[in-house]
Amino acid sequence: MKGTGCFFALLQALLLLAWARPCVAEVKLHSLPHQPRQGEAFLLQVLSDSPLGSVTGSWRNRTIHFFPGPDRRRFEAILGVDLAQAPGRSLVRVEIRTTGGDRRSLRTPLDVLPVDFPVQRLTLPRRMVTLSRKTLDRVMREKARVSRLFQDLDTKKRWGAGFMPPLQGAVLSPFGARRILNGEPRSPHSGVDLKASEGTPVRASSDGIVALVAEHYFAGKSVYLDHGGGIVSMYFHLSQVRVRQDDRIRKGEVIGLVGKTGRATGPHLHWGVRVAGSRVDPFSVVKIFREEALR
């Protein structure tokens, strides 16, 4: 009987020990799309079967800012592959802290696929291609101002119900097109040109704050919206701007009207998006949320 009592005491102790031990969360790392392409935005998700305390990460020497879901079982981040980033495999590093304070590390390879961007040959008046010293100085000042903007972004998430195109119009010039102007290679097209008549309303792609209103040599009248989390959308060649610096904007709100200001041969909208400075196809950001809604 004494031996039986010892056995049951030991069994009870083991059960209490098992009960006291915290459950180890099963955590998975998932990307959408699974293999992003050059110039494409993608969604990175950390999925857990129990709530997590915090999630941080890095990819290609860049910090990943994750945003928790309501129950903290899912953390998400939007990343971007710059159109000039070389294809190939790189490692995503994620650090997880559970609600109990335990820490875990995840490492997973991410393959970036190549894209055969189209070549677009354009013939423009010489004055629009060969810049004077005065004009070049202006362009460099404007470029420096925009570069500072991308270095001072809000990491707080501001978008709510995803992203949408700013207007309905055919694509005149696709993202990433390698442009040849008057026979000379130029920078690739870092946005998309959408066909629209002058005066067509241009709507905000998502919630955000007006980070910059400007009139630049190339872009004309422009609006830059900071959506938080390193995401900025841009709207160029406007005939009118309907917002002011630091305005809080809701998705779908009219921010300006289509025009042909700046270096434009006719009315259209240049729409661009950058994710942590990476130039991505704006339609790829819209696509992320459409596909996620179907999951």
2, pLDDT greater than 80: no
Domains located in the chain, CATH noted = 2-112 (2.60.40.10), 119-293 (2.70.70.10)
pLDDT for 3 equals 53
pLDDT above 90 as % of the chain: 62
pLDDT for 17 equals 41
Structure tokens at 199: 């005066």
pLDDT for 20 equals 41
The DSSP element (H or E) to which 147 belongs, if any, is helix 133-151
What are the tens digits of pLDDT across the range 138-195? Answer: 999 999 999 998 887 777 888 877 899 999 999 998 999 887 776 677 778 899 999 9
Calculate mean pLDDT across residues 23-47. Answer: 88
Measure the CA–CA gap between 285 and 274, rounded to whole angstroms: 10
Measure the CA–CA gap between 256 and 235, rounded to whole angstroms: 9
Q: How confident is the model at residue 250 (pLDDT cuts 50, 70, 90)?
A: very high
pLDDT for 200 equals 98
What are the tens digits of pLDDT across the range 92-115? Answer: 999 999 888 888 898 989 999 999
Structure tokens at 251: 């998705």
pLDDT for 85 equals 94
Amino acid 265 reads T
CB atoms within 10 A of CB 234: 21
User: Is the alpha carbon torsion for 140, 142, 145, 151 positive or negative?
Assistant: negative
| Between residues 156 and 249, the one the model is more confident about | 249
pLDDT for 180 equals 76
Q: Residue holding tokens 């995503």?
A: 92
- For 180-216, give one letter per residue: b (16+ CB within 10 A) or e: ebeeeeeebbbbbbbbbeeebebbbbbbbbbbbbbeb
What are the tens digits of pLDDT across the range 41-75? Answer: 999 999 998 899 999 999 998 889 899 988 999 99
Q: What is the mean pLDDT of the chain?
A: 87
pLDDT for 121 equals 75
Measure the CA–CA gap between 263 and 257, rounded to whole angstroms: 17
Q: Give, in order, the Cα–Cα distances in Å from 245 to each of 47, 142, 224.
A: 37, 16, 9
- pTM value? 0.86
What are the tens digits of pLDDT across the range 200-233? Answer: 999 999 999 999 999 999 999 999 999 998 899 9
23, pLDDT greater than 80: no
